[in-house]
Structure 1
Amino acid sequence: MTHDIDFTGVFPAMCTPFDEDERIDFETLQTDAQRLETAGVDGLVPVGSTGESATLTHDEHVRVVESVIDAVEDVPVIAGTGSNNTREALELSERAAEAGADGLLLISPYYNKPEQRGLVEHFRTIADAVDLPQIVYNVPSRTGRNIEPDTAVELASHENIAGYKAASGDLGQIGEIAERTMDEDFAVLSGDDALTLPTISVGGTGTISVAANVEPELTCAMVGAALDGDYARAQEIHHELGDLFRELFVETNPIPVKEAMEIRGYGPARMRSPLSRLSEEYRDDLEAVLDDLETTSPAAADDSNVEPAAEGE
């Protein structure tokens, strides 16, 4: 297929809100999707790692995707459908496609630790069967296996594999993949908020972001400025967001971002076990950072009318 999504800009990795009985709070989920769309993001990514996909049943997984699709009007929805079981990932991908997802995000198989040839076979199996643009997601800290540059470049040649979410922390590797896929219809997206600006500087197209759940306007302003080549402005906003980037990863994602969402009034901080609420020792610092961004941010004032990042290219 010809990719019908422009994977340029800011794509929040959405949280999944739960009620007091740990059931999915679909009303809050939809309100949050609409908030983010109004803020100017370029797409939404439900049921990824930040969406606690590991603790959702397959039926819940699909219902979250359907709920987000129903809530928004003009932004694509990229459903997280990865698994360490190729058959399971394929089933989730097919069901997300049937639900109306615009694209898929596929984490590399975790725990199994396949060889690179196994990774190629895994992603190609899904790309051959599901006619949607797909992003392969490299996060070795969670999976125990790195998607090597040669593997990413090989996958980029598949017509349905549209991009690479980079969360390895290795900027040299990220830059190599961007360089070697310049002639492909292939996007390289940051999967690490602290490296979004550096990733764009070496050829990246944007970010699948945790921080954008909390500060979507500023994240869009930063990415838009970088894509426009205004690196002085992008750097200013990057440093303004720096404390938030750090606070959102003091414990395992999405523990801190769900706490931040609750502080801001966007949704509950409840987690499904085995994840737990943010430790009290970190909450005051997180609240202070959020207060500073809300009340003293010159960038927030300057960019109150910033257009979505992808439109600034």
Structure 2
Amino acid sequence: MTAHEPYSGVLPAMVTPFHDDGSIDFDSLAADAQRLERAGVDGLVPVGSTGESATLTHDEHVQVVETVSGAVEDVSVIAGSGSNNTAEALELSERSAEAGADGLLLISPYYNRPEPEGMEHHYREIADAVDLPQVIYNVPGRTGRDIAVETAVSLADHENVVGYKAASGDLGRISEVVERTRDAAFSVLSGDDGMTLPTLSVGGTGAISVVANVEPERTCAMAGAALAGDYERARALHHELGPLMRALFAESNPIPVKEAMAIRGHCEPHLRSPLSRASEGVREELEGLLDELDSSPAVEVGVEA
């Protein structure tokens, strides 16, 4: 197997744009990937939770990966390919690799709530079979089960498991994973925008970010400053982005971020059922926050992470 490098910097968790009839807007998807690449992001993560992967068919999933991979030149494409069915996750991972993905993001099995032994077996089976760098994704609020620290540490010894997306909200747990994998080629990435700066402060290497879809330059500047040790500047940017970060999770992700991107003219706000468009109050809040950000220059934005 190939020795893979761990990930660092800012990797937006991309939305999947839809037409009003529910079909995928591939032109907007490609344009969005190119916009984010120009903004200086370090990678792109399509067909994850933010990309409404739960309501895409497998063929659509592959088409999204092909579109994003074909649209960009110099950034890695890390495709969401997880499932609560190991065989299905393996199939999606293999098809994503064939479609041009440079890496994989694998949510932990949801609903069936495996024990740690089953969780590790799930990830090792995919890592053994698909020779791409893979990030395991801990988001117990969506899956109903934490990836145990011991499981993450054990998986870090696999050549193809290069990272851990942390979205538990538990900084102590995140810090322990960082501490116990410091000698491995392994990255700990924030999966919660409000926790990105704290995660970087304890040794994390970057973020798979929702807010970076809307404010990629500011998000890259914040992460870049923290990774360079300039925490005064990183804190200023973190607090500047704070109200938008919170507003983007006022309703279920990706409802608010789709609305924010529509306000900015990047895509239409259409979502697939059972998700519904953002409420009027959320729309008004987002319009005000985006107007404020547009009218006030950030703290030295545009520095690459």
- TM-score (normalised: structure 1): 0.96
Shift of 1:139: 0.2
**What is the Cα deviation at residue 298 of structure 1?**
3.5
Taking the aligned partners of 1:281 and 1:49, their CA distance within structure 2 comes to 23
The DSSP-based 3-state class of the residue aligned with 2:159 is coil
Match of 1:293 in 2: 293
Please tell me whether the aligned partners of residues 5 and 76 of structure 1 are also in contact (alpha carbons under 8 angstroms): no
Measured against aligned partners, the alpha-carbon deviations of 1:122-154 in whole angstroms (never above 9, x if no partner) come to 000000000000000000000000001111001
Question: What displacement does 1:4 show?
Answer: 4.0
SS in 1 for 2:44: coil
Corresponding position of 2:60: 60
* 1:200 partner letter: L
After TM superposition, give the deviation of residue 99 of structure 1 in Å.
Answer: 1.2
* Unaligned ranges ≥5, structure 2: none
The residue aligned with 2:75 is 75
Q: Deviations over 1:206-234 (max 9, x none)?
A: 00000000000000000000000000000
Amino acid at match of 1:157: D
Q: Secondary structure at the match of 1:136?
A: strand
Helix, strand or coil for the counterpart of 1:298?
coil
- Pair 1:111–1:140, CA change in 2 (3 A): same
Secondary structure at the aligned position of 1:106 is classed as strand
Contact 2:237 2:298 in 1 (8 A): no
2:180 matched residue in structure 1: 180
Quick one: distance in 2 between partners of 1:150 and 1:297? Answer: 44
| Whole-angstrom CA distance in 2 between matches of 1:196 and 1:59 | 33
Paired residue for 1:303, among 292, 301, 304?
Answer: 301
Aligned to 1:255: 255
Give the residue type in structure 2 aligned to 1:65: V
- Counterpart CA distance in 2 for 1:272 and 1:52 is 8
Task: Specify the alignment match of 1:10 in structure 2.
Answer: 10
- Give the secondary-structure state (helix, strand or coil) at the position aligned to 2:275: coil
Aligned residues: 305
| C-alpha RMSD of matched pairs (Å) | 0.9
Contact 2:5–2:185 (CA<8 Å) still a contact in 1? no
* TM-score with structure 2 setting the length: 0.99
Q: Unpaired segments of 5 or more residues in structure 1?
A: none
SS of match in other structure, 1:303: coil
For the residues of structure 2 that align with 1:62 and 1:283, how far apart are their CA atoms?
31
8 Å contact kept, 1:259–1:277: yes
Q: 1:142-182 CA distances to partner (integer Å, 9 max, x unpaired)?
A: 00000011110011111110000000000000000000000
Match in the other structure for 1:276 = 276
Which residue identity lines up with residue 238 of structure 1 in the other structure?
H
Partner of 1:170: 170
Does residue 142 of structure 1 match 2:119?
no
Distance 1:294 1:166 in 2: 30
Runs of 4+ in 1 over 6 A off after TM superposition: none
Give, in whole Å, the separation in 2 of the partners of 1:68 and 1:5: 21
Q: Where does residue 158 of structure 1 map in the other structure?
A: 158
**1:286-310 CA-partner distances (Å, limit 9, x unpaired):** 11111111111332xx224x2x20x
Read off the aligned partner of 2:17 and give its amino acid letter: P
Q: In structure 1, what is the equivalent of residue 109 of structure 2?
A: 109
Return the offset for 1:20.
1.3
Secondary structure class of the residue paired with 1:207: strand
Cα distance between partner residues in 1 of 2:154 and 2:201:
23
Aligned to 1:23: 23
